[in-house]
Structure 1
Amino acid sequence: MFETILLPTDGSQHAEAAAETGLELAGVHDAAVHVVCVADTGPLSDLRLPGDAASAEDAMRQRAQESVDTIVERAEDAGLEVTGTVLEGPPEHELLEYVDEVGADLVVLSTRGRGGVHRMALGSVTDHVIRFGDVPVFVANSGSRSA
């Protein structure tokens, strides 16, 4: 049913849990996997970067690559066809462009991740992908529930 599954990550435990679900789906459907992390270097990123912006952006790119590498390794261990990519820019826009670029027919996202207060004001990446994407989105709720 699915041939290409996109697994966005931000390095959070929630994103990694969603990626595990995505890897299981890929195994069942014998689908290719694209793991992607977006280093948010958009206009609002300067508001979150302490100190030297260039050094902070380099660190952000490095964390993004490490996040991708972690999930790529898991996919390879599972015998899946996998590609890992780090993008730069506003995550919600970059992810939708990447979906089109690779012809993904499923996106697996978490409901929680990193992003801080600016994400609450602008809306979550997951919400944006659901609202404006043209492919099915599997949302893995990896948050804890309290009574």
Structure 2
Amino acid sequence: MFDTIVLPTDGSDHAEVAAETGIELATAHDAAVHVVSVADTGLLGGLRLPGEAASAEDAMRGRAQESVDAVVEAAEAAGLEPTGAVLDGPPAEAILEYARDVDADLIVMGTRGRGGVHRMAMGSVTDHVVRFGDVPVFVANSESSVE
């Protein structure tokens, strides 16, 4: 049913739950797994961290790479051969573009479960991916299970 699954991660607990769900689905369907994290560096404009030689962009990319590496390691431990990538740009747009590029059958991602005014004010990467993507999206939370 699924040949290619994209697992976006930001290193949060919600993304970890989604990654576990995505890994279970990939194992059950013998699917290829693509783990991605997005460094939205466009908002930083060359900002440097106080007392640091590295730019904030480098720090952001480093955190994104750590998030990808953790999920890749978990997928490998489950017997999969995942691909990992750090993407640049607005997160939802980068995830959707990547999913199109790899001809994904499914995107599995987490949500913080925010709603109401907070969601309207802050926006939601998951919400944007669900609304504007042309790939099915499995939205996982701490209650999700593929059993």
Same fold (TM over 0.5): yes
Q: Which residue of 2 aligns with 1:131?
A: 131
Richer in helix (by share): 1
- Between Structure 1 and Structure 2, how many residues are aligned? 137
Match of 2:19 in 1: 19
- 1:34-73 counterparts in 2 under 5 A? 34-42=34-42, 44-45=43-44, 51=50, 55-73=55-73
Letter in 1 for 2:41: T
**Percent identical:** 73
Per the alignment, residue 98 of structure 2 pairs with 98
Contact 1:112 1:142 survives alignment (8 Å): no
Distance 2:94 2:122 in 1: 16
Give the CA deviation at 1:50: 5.6
Q: Which 4+ residue blocks in structure 1 deviate beyond 6 angstroms?
A: none
Pairwise CA distance, 1:10: 0.4
Distance 1:129-1:25 versus aligned 2 partners, 3 A rule = same
In structure 2, what residue type is equivalent to 1:139? Answer: V
The whole-number CA distance in structure 1 between the counterparts of 2:96 and 2:136 is 12
| 1:89 Cα deviation from its structure 2 partner | 1.0
2:30 counterpart letter in structure 1: D
Q: 1:5 — aligned with what?
A: 5
- Residue 58 (structure 2) pairs with residue 29 (structure 1): no
1:81 Cα deviation after fit: 2.4
Structure 1 distance, partners of 2:104, 2:48, is 32
Counting only pairs closer than 5 Å after superposition, residues 105-120 of structure 1 correspond to structure 2 as 105-112=105-112
Letter in 2 for 1:72: V
2:80 aligned partner = 80
Q: Aligned-residue CA RMSD in angstroms? A: 2.4
Letter in structure 1 aligned against 2:55 = S
Distance 1:58 1:19, change over 3 A: same
Structure 2, unpaired ranges of 5+: none
SS in 1 for 2:55: helix
In structure 1, runs of 5+ residues without a counterpart are none
